Amino acid sequence: MKFKTFNPPVRTLMGPGPTDIHPRVLSAMARPTIGHLDPAFLSMMDEIKAMLRYAFQTKNVLTIPISAPATAGMETCVVNLVEPGDKVIVCVNGVFGLRMKENIERVGGLPILVEDRWGEVVDPDKLEDTIKKHRDARLVTLVQAETSTGVLSDAKTLVEVAHRYDCLTIVDAVTSFGGSPLKVDEWGIDAIFTCSQKCLSCTPGLSPVSLNDRAVEAIKKRRIKIQSWFLDLNLLMGYWGSKTRSYHHTAPINPLYGLHESLVMLHEEGLEKSWARHWHHHHALRSGLEAMGLSFLVKAEARLPQVNVIQVPPGVDEAILRRRLLEEYNLEVGAGLGALAGKVIRIGLMGYGANMKNVMYCLEALEAVLFEMRAPIQTGVAMNAAQSSSIQN
């Protein structure tokens, strides 16, 4: 068999991630590889840490990217902070809350679930009631932006509730980071993780994490050794810390150039402006989709601007709809996950992709395919609605 160079098709990525990678990120990644202990590389690592602190809005010393996707960021927080027998309150309103539960079980922790319906926010009162019943719990976990349902929960209030009962907090900010307001120090978040491939428009495979002094203290007081060698933050800080810079693993050098460039771009734009841009384009897309007659899974006040979850109109096969968008328009949108499979599609507007061109292209393609599939939609109004929303907001 003869193998040839792989040339991927050129798509517009409007699923739940990855998003379209910014050309500046791709060209940064094509720069010459240098050694991972080269002084030039070490000083670039320092800049990454400084820019991540800005993006997380924190002064946490322990702010580094894990060399693996965001699931490893989740695992880093869990494996460092949870010990066998620890009770952990886990807020679940979608797929990623359940992934957290699974992680906790695997390190011998005892997850206590606070369950909310998929498509609804995590309810702070339910969280408080659950903590009151389990006063021996020492940790609360929550997903700020549940990508599986398109819901943005009130992380600030949930963290406040957890702290009232002296629990540490782990926050999943994979889809909100860089796209929706997130203030790690002001909100008192103890441990947080995110990804590179969504609002940063970088390639997948890196997971920034940040832990405050309370979380670091808790790690120091552990009774047993951290089960994972690779994700042990004490060891990782030997490489990423500011004092010693010794070999831990061979860092993904070129992907880190990409992360650096994406953070430079976030700096250039400004964090608040990036949050506003995501909201603005979500609003335009939403106006177009609703004018077409499509409905969101989530009520307006709980919607996550980065992931728009739309009910599939009656009589439309969701898999065929997505396949046609991909084959005929090179447009990727996401499928429903878990209980929502087949019932919804997820339209991402993140990072570089959160722009008017993508909003209009998506509306145009969706309208054309749905019309041909004989879906009960209004035609000829969506793009005007998006345009006027964009002018007004």
Residues in contact with ligand PLP by CB under 6 A are 16-17, 69-71, 74, 96, 143, 147, 172, 174-175, 195, 204
Is there a contact between 215 and 24 (Cβ–Cβ < 8 Å)?
no
**Smaller CB separation from ligand PLP, 116 or 172:** 172
* Least Cβ distance, residue 293 to ligand PLP (angstroms): 28
Residue found by looking up tokens 């990217």 in the block: 65
Find the shortest distance in angstroms from Cβ 204 to ligand PLP.
6
Q: How far is the CB of 308 from ligand PLP (least distance, A)?
A: 14
Q: Give the residue with the Cβ less far from ligand PLP, 73 or 313.
A: 73
Tell me how far, at minimum, the Cβ of 95 lies from ligand PLP, in Å: 8
> Residue 96 or residue 275: which is nearer to ligand PLP going by CB?
96
Q: How far is the CB of 327 from ligand PLP (least distance, A)?
A: 24
Cα(186)–Cα(371) distance, integer angstroms: 48
Instruction: State the nearest-atom distance from the C-beta of 99 to ligand PLP, in Å.
Output: 6
Q: How far is the CB of 92 from ligand PLP (least distance, A)?
A: 12
- Choose between 188 and 204: whose C-beta lies nearer to ligand PLP: 204
Q: Per this entry, what is the length of the chain?
A: 393
Residue 175 or residue 262: which is nearer to ligand PLP going by CB? 175
Q: Are strands 87-92 and 110-115 parallel, antiparallel or unpaired?
A: parallel
Instruction: Report how far Cα 51 is from the mean position of its chain's Cα atoms.
Output: 17
Residue nearer to ligand PLP on the CB measure, 127 or 143: 143
Phi-psi bin for 270: left (phi > 0), alpha (psi -120 to 50), beta? left
Tokens encoding 100: 């957290």
Nearest to ligand PLP of 114, 382 (CB atom): 114
> Which pair of structure tokens corresponds to residue 351?
């990072």
